[in-house]
Each structure stands twice: as C-alpha cells, then as structure tokens.
Amino acid sequence: MVAATKPTSNPPGAEASYAARWQRTLVLALPFGVLAFVAGWALDGPSGQATTFDALVYPVMAIVLLALHVVLAVRRDALTFVVLTIVGGTSVFLLSKLVFLLFLDMGSAQVQAELTESFFWVPIIYLLSFVLPHVRLGRQISVAFTASILLVTLAYAFAPDLPARSLGVVSALIQLNLANGVLLALTQAFIGFKEAYVRTQARVETAERFASMDPLTELPNRFALQGRLTSALAEAQASGERLGVLFIDVDGFKVLNDTIGHEAGDELLRQLADRLRRVVRKDDFIARISGDEFVLLVAGLDEPQVAAFVAQKLQADLVAPFHVLDQAFRVTVSIGISVFPDDAADPEGLLRHADSAMYRVKRSGKNGVQQYRGETDAHLERQRALERDLRSALQGDQMSLVYQPLHDLHTGEARKFEALLRWSHPTWGHVSPTEFVPLAEQSGQIVQLGTWVLNQACKQVRTWQRTTHDRIQVCVNVSPLQFAQPSFYDSVVAALENHGLMPEALELELTENIVLHGVDHVASTLDRLRRLGVGLAIDDFGTGYSSLAYLRDLPIDTIKIDRSFVKDLGSPRKGPQFALALVEAITGIARYLDLSVVAEGIESRAQVELLKSLGCHLGQGFYFAQPMTPELVELYLRPGDPLRTDERAALFN
C-alpha cells in the first residue's frame, strides 16, 4: 500500500471503477460490431444490395473495430481513445454514407433499405458520448452529429437540382432527424446526471480524504494511523511477521517554532514531511499525529533490531539542512521504537511503548534512537499517563479528600484533621498522592489542584462545625509551587470567605523546601497569613532543609516530626537512639520557640507513651485512625464513638 504518497487532484475512486466497467463491456461488445460489418459485406452481394460504398468501407470499418477491440483488451488506459475513435469514426461513416446515398448513388432503388440498415448504429454515437470522461466533449460530439445529419437532410430536401429526390426518402430522413432529436435530448439529460454524480462523488472523496489526512503536510493523520495500525497488526498476526512502530518527535521544535514564527515552522514541517515521505519504503506507512510527532509503521521485520536500522537511516536522511526563509535549519529527531509481538500485541500498547521509548531518548539528550525496554519504560509510561490524566481528573470527579485526625496526646481529643488528597483513576484505581503530587508539581497542575483542595477542605470543616458545634481545625498540605504563586495569599482569603470559615480553623502544612524558594517572599507571605489568623505548620520536619534558623525567623506555629523518625523510635536496627535524640532536640527547640509539636505516623501504644514523655503535644497515625471519608469523620466526632477503641480511651484517662 502506498499510503504515504501525496493525494493527486484526480483521485482514483468511483471514476476509475466506472471506467473499468465500461472497458469490460466494450471489449465484449466490439466483436458484434465487427461481425455486423463482415456479415453486411459478405451478404450484400448475393442479396443484390451491394453498393460501391459498402464494398469499400465495410471491410475498413470491420478492421478498425477489430483493431480497437485488441487495443482495448491490451491497454487498460485506452478507453477514452477507443471511444473517441468509435464515436468519431461512426459519425464520419454514417455521414459519408448518407451523402453517398443521397447525392452520389442517385437513382438507387435501395436508398431506404440502406438507410434503415446503417442507421441502426446511430444510437451508438449518443450512448458512447456519455461514456467519455469529459462530459463537455461528449455533449459537443452528439450535438455536432445531430446538426450534421440535419444539414444533410436540409440539403437533400431543398437542393434545387436534384432530379431523383424521392418523397419516401425525405420522409425517412424526417423520421431519422426526429429520432436523433429524441436521442440527443436523452443523452444531454444523462450527461447532466453524470456530471452531477461525478461532482458529488468527488466531494465525498475529498471529504473522506481530508478526514483522514493532516491538511498541513498531506500525510495521513492520527485517525488514519489507527485504522492502518489495526489492519497492519492483523496482517502481521496472520503472516507471523514482526511490525515495527517508530515514534518520531522533532527535537526542540516548540522553541524553533516560537523563534522563527509559526508560518515558517509550518513550512519546515511540510519540508520535513516531504523528506520523510521520500525516504520511507513504498510499503511503509507514515503519519503525522500531532504538532511535531510522526509515526512510521514498518511491516515485515525479520528481527526486532531491523526497526532500529530503519530509524538510524531515517536520522541520517534528515541530516541535510532544510531551507526556510532563506535560512538553513538543521533538524534532529528522537525516535522510540516498539515491535509487535515482542513489546505489545495491541495498537494502543504499541504506540504507548514507542512513545515512552521516545521519551527516554528525550531525557537522555535527544537526537537518538531507543527501543522499548519493558520495566523501565513501563514506569515512565505510567508517569506520563498519570500526568496526562491529571488534567481531566478534577473535572471527572476522580479527586476526593479524606481526613486523618490529629490527637492531643494528653487529653486524647481530636480537634484537628489533616485533609489528604485521593485520586481514584478510572483504569489504574487508587493512585497515591506520593506518586501524583510530585507529577502535578512538575507540570504545574498542583496550583489548580491545591486551590481545589483548599476550597474543598474549608467547605467540609465548615459543615462539621455546623453539625457538631466543635471548634474543629483542618490542616491542608500546600506544595512549594502553589505557595510560590503571587496569588496564593488571595486564594486562601477567597477560600475562607467563600465558605464563611474563621481563619483560625485553617492550618497550612508547608514543607521545609518552601524556604528554598526565597526567604524574603516566603517570610512576607507567611507574615500576612499569620496576621490573618491562619495556622502554619512545617510538615515532614527533619527530612528537608538543614538550617534550623528559619524556625526562629519565620512565623511558624507547629512542627510535624516526620514519620520516619517516629518509626525508628521503636526499631532497634535503625538506631532508636538517634531518633530519640532528634525528637528530644526538636521538642527542646519547640519549647523554647513556643511551637506545638506533632508526631506523624504513630502506629503503636508504645510510641504514644514515648512521644508523650518526650514532650510531643499531638499525634497522628494509624494507631488513632486511618484517613477517613467525611461521613466517617462525622461518626468519629460523635461522643462515645465506636471508632475509638477502649484501649485508646483508657490511654487518655
């Protein structure tokens, strides 16, 4: 299949199959014409009807028709030539015979019989003029023929010196002209229908072509690729051969496009597509699937490695510069490869794998070729898919919040709840925030996501306050990028106002890394938040920024000791002494700076006892409760709540 060829202005389609059908019909019909002339020639003499004209012209006509038959049977593209010759030749034959009979062979008693005999063939001229691909030409020929017969008739009827004029012949000629008139009218109507049909068909074909074609480069588009990939896979499956999918991405195209302008960028892409089209083999399939991404399908691979050779050859072919705006541009591409059946057996899998292999090329410096590598790329692929799907996750109601209580280690009360984001992905199921929050951070989507969390948490805590009349506080995690937005302060104020929440009911959990984003800006935003009345906590304390001085300089209320230290407290192998010393140091600093200390990740009663004795104020962890849905939190907040075990109740009494 030569799908990569440029579509021409005259696409093969209905017109071609229509011509083929006519060709077959004529090949079958022409021998009858030959026979008619041979029979006429052979029988005219014995039957006493012979004229000099027939004796000379019939064999010529038979030979011409026979020759045309042979031409038509041998040459597929000879239809128009043959039809034109038949129509032209028959017109000349009939007109000459008419002139001969009426003006030269005067006195022949056979005129009428001869007229009838030969003029059987008149409809052929009209019919065949309809077959001609250029409708206007067909129309002109049939009009010219009708007009000529009429002129000859008029000449016969009105010529002054025509002694042998017979009324019978005039009557036959009148009927011949009337029959011609009817045939002409019908032919014109049919030609009109054909014209309309051809136009509609051409429109349909153009529409179909554009639906599956990228208009910029005139290469097949993503839609066409899907169709082709599916059928190529079926063929590969049937033949047991390999199919290579090459994902080609132009390096740095976005920057180039912005630098040279979009029109020049388009021109570059057009030239690139032309070059790709020229260098791929006839049986390969190349498509442009988006901006600067192309996919090449290579069928019939003996070894998976052959695909890499093809890719390298492609790269070599792109080395020569492209000329746009009188400048030379060198373009490199990153190519990722996946092979059926080695890497995947379905179209989506093959494309995804080739794409992730390409992504690996990009990461390792671009301008290279990489074959899909099972597990390494599967991880990358998941990340890319998650990053892509994050965009629609909020609209699709896939995000929700759960809440985990923070307990006062002395009174046992749970007054604070930390809001934790949950993503229920339609195909991957539950995705942990430790996986998607960093991705959202990288792509910048965390800003939108974080604002949603802030609003959702404020709304929720306001609802609990109304139903329980407790002074519940909600803790919301804030990512460094979200915090760095100039509009962050305003978004906090807006969330509080939107849900009618007192600022004291909100605590923001920031990581130590936030300090890295420029202390001045951080300090002023924190000051404003503090003046507003919002609580500020440092999350995962001890894992990030090493300077402790910021604790003194920044308006922090709470430190949350990272759960890794809490875990180490009870683990002899991990050196509990260090964890112990660290927690003691933190509580010492906190006491000095009048900060509240939360221990994260408490999983046992022993940890509670120890942390309490070390001076921690609050504790959070599975020992108290797992993160809960808002409905469970309402149950949890009820006095005498069954979710709090007797053991835990005893601890706090």
Task: From the list Mg ion, ligand C2E, none, pick the one residue 432 interacts with, judged by a Cβ distance below 5 to 8 Å according to partner type.
Answer: ligand C2E
Pick the closer one to ligand C2E by CB: 286 or 457: 457
Pick the closer one to ligand C2E by CB: 15 or 387: 387
Note whether 338 and 350 are within 8 A (CB): yes
CB of 570 to ligand C2E, least distance (A): 12
CB of 379 to Mg ion, least distance (A): 24
Pick the closer one to ligand C2E by CB: 80 or 398: 398
User: Of the ranges 21-29, 298-306, 409-417, 597-605, which one interacts with Mg ion (CB under 5 A)?
Assistant: 597-605
CA distance 423 to 564: 24
Interface mask (CB under 6 A) for ligand C2E, residues 193-232, using x and -?
Answer: ----------------------------------------
Alpha-carbon distances, residue 295 vs 232, 269, 341, 456 (angstroms): 14, 14, 18, 43
User: Of the ranges 31-39, 248-256, 608-616, 617-625, which one interacts with ligand C2E (CB under 6 A)?
Assistant: 617-625
Q: 280: Cβ–Cβ under 8 A, 6 or more apart, which residues?
A: 4, 286, 296, 314
Q: Which of 40, 539, 596, 616 binds ligand C2E (CB under 6 A)?
A: 539
Long-range contacts of 569-577 (CB under 8 A, 24+ apart): 569/607, 569/610, 569/611, 570/604, 570/606, 570/607, 570/610
Q: Is 423 helix (H, G, I), strand (E, B) or coil?
A: strand
Which amino acid appears at position 460 of this protein? Q
Task: From the list ligand C2E, Mg ion, none, pick the one residue 389 interacts with, judged by a Cβ distance below 5 to 8 Å according to partner type.
Answer: none
Q: Which of residues 492-531 bind ligand C2E (CB under 6 A)?
A: 509
Q: Which of 344, 540, 558, 636 binds Mg ion (CB under 5 A)?
A: 540
Task: From the list ligand C2E, Mg ion, none, pick the one residue 437 interacts with, judged by a Cβ distance below 5 to 8 Å according to partner type.
Answer: ligand C2E
CB of 651 to ligand C2E, least distance (A): 16
Pick the closer one to ligand C2E by CB: 230 or 432: 432
DSSP annotation of 599: E
CB of 504 to ligand C2E, least distance (A): 20
Tokens of 76: 């597929």
CA distance 396 to 391: 9
- Does position 404 interact with ligand C2E (CB under 6 A)? The reply is yes
Note whether 474 and 417 are within 8 A (CB): yes
Interface mask (CB under 6 A) for ligand C2E, residues 423-452, using x and -?
Answer: ---------xxx--x------------x--
SS3 of 213-253: the string is ECCCCCCECHHHHHHHHHHHHHHHHHHCCEEEEEEEEECCH
DSSP annotation of 625: -
CA distance 11 to 253: 33
Q: Which of residues 599-618 bind Mg ion (CB under 5 A)?
A: 600
CB of 323 to ligand C2E, least distance (A): 49
E strand or H helix at 289, and its extent?
strand 285-290
CB of 592 to ligand C2E, least distance (A): 24
Pick the closer one to ligand C2E by CB: 594 or 631: 631
CA distance 295 to 288: 6
Task: From the list Mg ion, ligand C2E, none, pick the one residue 421 interacts with, judged by a Cβ distance below 5 to 8 Å according to partner type.
Answer: ligand C2E
Interface mask (CB under 6 A) for ligand C2E, residues 567-606, using x and -?
Answer: ---------------------------------xxxx---
Task: From the list ligand C2E, Mg ion, none, pick the one residue 153 interacts with, judged by a Cβ distance below 5 to 8 Å according to partner type.
Answer: none
Which amino acid appears at position 543 of this protein? T
Q: Which of 420, 551, 590, 618 binds ligand C2E (CB under 6 A)?
A: 420
Q: Which of residues 496-535 bind Mg ion (CB under 5 A)?
A: 509
* Paired strand residues for 243: 299, 340
Which amino acid appears at position 305 of this protein? Q
Nearest residue to 176 (alpha-carbon basis) of 225, 117, 218: 117
Task: From the list ligand C2E, Mg ion, none, pick the one residue 648 interacts with, judged by a Cβ distance below 5 to 8 Å according to partner type.
Answer: none
Note whether 608 and 411 are within 8 A (CB): no
Map tokens 């009148």 to a residue: 174
Interface mask (CB under 6 A) for ligand C2E, residues 17-56, using x and -?
Answer: ----------------------------------------
CA distance 104 to 107: 9
Task: From the list Mg ion, ligand C2E, none, pick the one residue 450 interacts with, judged by a Cβ distance below 5 to 8 Å according to partner type.
Answer: ligand C2E
Q: Which of 421, 515, 556, 618 binds ligand C2E (CB under 6 A)?
A: 421
Task: From the list Mg ion, ligand C2E, none, pick the one residue 473 interacts with, judged by a Cβ distance below 5 to 8 Å according to partner type.
Answer: none
Beta strand residue intervals within 493-629, DSSP E: 506-511, 535-541, 558-561, 596-599, 618-619
E strand or H helix at 421, and its extent?
strand 414-425
Pick the closer one to Mg ion by CB: 292 or 600: 600
CB of 446 to ligand C2E, least distance (A): 6
CB of 483 to ligand C2E, least distance (A): 9
Alpha-carbon Rg of the chain, whole angstroms?
Answer: 44
Pick the closer one to ligand C2E by CB: 450 or 630: 450
CA distance 561 to 610: 14
Q: How many residues can be counted in the chain? A: 653
Whether a cis peptide bond, with omega within 30° of 0, leads into 133 is no
Pick the closer one to Mg ion by CB: 333 or 579: 579
User: Of the ranges 61-69, 237-245, 520-528, 616-624, which one interacts with ligand C2E (CB under 6 A)?
Assistant: 616-624
- Phi and psi for 240 in degrees, rounded to 5? 75, 15
Size of residue set near Mg ion by CB under 5 A: 5
Pick the closer one to ligand C2E by CB: 250 or 611: 611
Q: Which of 54, 284, 539, 568 binds Mg ion (CB under 5 A)?
A: 539
According to DSSP, the β-strands at 399-408 and 333-340 are unpaired
Alpha-carbon distances, residue 512 vs 358, 522, 541, 580 (angstroms): 35, 11, 7, 21
Q: Which of residues 447-476 bind ligand C2E (CB under 6 A)?
A: 450, 453
* Paired strand residues for 295: 247, 287
User: Of the ranges 439-447, 448-456, 469-477, 478-486, which one interacts with Mg ion (CB under 5 A)?
Assistant: 469-477
Nearest residue to 101 (alpha-carbon basis) of 161, 166, 43: 166
Residue environment code for 109-119, b if the CB has 16+ CB neighbours within 10 A, otherwise e: ebbbebbebbb
**Residues binding ligand C2E (CB under 6 A):** 404, 420-421, 432-434, 437, 450, 453, 477-479, 509, 539-540, 563, 600-603, 620-622, 627
